Chains A and B, each alone.
Chain A
């Protein structure tokens, strides 16, 4: 049995007015065995000098559930034992002195069904500014199926998106229109038309394209849908453009989404910065209107990137699968933005699998059953180009949208040629992989062979073949596989 039993005070002592250690208040229980229906959170805690890690973990449990800084007698009007979160395990972080992984279990009754706002108001509500901790990071969560089933999840999901667009067996291809600010509606639509006609499946508004002086939203939508329809007729293939409906109020977002629907768009887009409740509202709207919902993770790096403090993106991925988005930007590994290969594969597994086993190497601390919730299509965007196609397919698999913005629009022969180069590179790589070739090692030759019948691909390879973004990642898993003695 745990320490708690050695120090557990009598009820009369426990509820005497004054300040008491959180562990003594009942927020630490080393003997606690989490129920199948408990929500479990794993925090990385960095206690202040002299603060015992178990007390720090108990404080996190307390402040993220029922506690306040002092004893309150009104606890005794409730089934307070049940409502208290219980820190039950603290492990030192491997190779990182002063940091600990704290496991905390929460009773299901603490949470409103189907509300990310309520979940997060508890788990990350107050506790991140708590003085006895230098830093705090929410690393992972186990969401019980009983709770998962209170959410609708993605309105479309990977399989239905593929069926709706009639595109199977390969990653989808997209591009963000550049420059991201300043184009008029007419010029903006030109980029969309060229890119889609050239071979992309999607184009995309950037996160900060809303309704600005140089381009109002209605204008953008009208020109973009002209481009989409022209490109569909030119290729006989279904296409889409993520019309960003992000706005200052829900009323404005609904108005924009309704207009996108009226124009026949298959997909609308929102930014993470609109907030969890707004995301869930747009998810409901998308479900009612057969619309694919794309989420740009604008703002996430402010709290996901540093390992000591914030919220891991694997947790954001879990919340967004519950909240119900169909696409989410989740890293490229090889591009210009932060992304350790193992961490990124962990995010992708959270988004795409029916069931996640424990996978410490990829940062997944818990088994997670998604209870049949649909799958989210991850989007890889930011500093990627055709010459990396074998690496992208190797790391990210085929259920992903690969977005080449600069790598399409910056092509020396023009936007349509840039799009064609990417599509040919992709199809050649998938064909070769399926034939059993070793694309990791033979990738460059496969691309060269494909470029023999595709001048745009040759030009793309000549322009970008030496571009890499080779910097050390900050958000890396803490566990590496260790060789076992034979």
Chain B
């Protein structure tokens, strides 16, 4: 399977030039870019690991790209995403979030069920990879 979280997951993997263009778009709007990684891709996993702090004061796309590259080199078999944070009053959340690295093989998720009364199913989904310890999953 292909994990389709993030803004551009239905497109072919973005090239470095494409990633850089998106970063420039974000910086041009005054958003703070950050890089996060994980090997637990459950969609309710709200807290991917932060690869450093959001780059509030970095206005140069090349500098952000260097961080993206460093994260991808350190965690080549993890999911890595680029986030853009907008601190404007009334928003104060992400404006863009897209995946820039993914494991070579994505086995996907098991859907587990528990039978309940009245044909109700209690669903639970689990990434096959997370049966193994963190850091050894992909």
By the criterion of a CB under 8 Å from any partner CB, how many residues of chain B are at the interface?
43
Contact across chains for B98 and A233 when beta carbons are under 8 A apart: no
Query: Interface size bucket, A side?
Result: 35 or more
Residue in B21, B91, B108 whose beta carbon sits within 8 Å of that of A435 in the complex: B21
Which of A38-46, A55-63, A287-295, A426-434 interfaces with chain B? A426-434
Residues of B within 8 A of A163 (CB): 93-94
Closest chain A CB from B51 CB (angstroms): 18
Name the residue on B nearest A263 (C-beta).
B120
- Indicate if the CB atoms of A162 and B4 lie closer than 8 Å: no
Interface flags, A236-273, vs B, CB<8A=1, else 0: 11100000000000000000000000111000000000
Whether A354 pairs with B89 at a CB distance below 8 angstroms is: yes
Binds B, one of A224-232, A296-304, A401-409: A224-232
- Known A226-B121, A235-B3; judge A169-B11 contact (CB<8 A): no
Count of A-B contacts judged by CB separation below 8 Å: 108
Contacts of A424 in B (CB 8 A): 10-11
Interface residues of B in 77-131 (CB under 8 A from A): 83-84, 89-98, 108-111, 118-121, 123, 125, 127
B residues near A232, Cβ cutoff 8 Å: 43, 109, 111, 125
CB of B53 to closest CB in A, whole Å:
19
Q: Knowing A199-B4, A199-B10, say if A162 contacts B93 (CB, 8 Å).
A: yes
Least CB distance from B122 to A in Å reads: 8
16 residue pairs bridging A and B, Cβ less than 8 Å apart? A163-B93, A218-B118, A229-B111, A234-B108, A236-B3, A237-B43, A264-B123, A354-B89, A424-B10, A424-B11, A427-B11, A430-B7, A431-B14, A434-B25, A434-B96, A435-B25
Q: Which residues of B contact A (CB under 8 A)?
A: 1, 3-5, 7-12, 14, 18, 21-22, 25, 41-44, 46, 83-84, 89-98, 108-111, 118-121, 123, 125, 127
Where the two chains meet, the residues of A that have a C-beta atom closer than 8 Å to any C-beta of B are 159, 162-163, 166, 168-170, 199, 218, 222, 225-226, 229-230, 232-238, 262-264, 354, 372, 375, 420, 423-424, 427-428, 430-431, 434-436, 450, 453
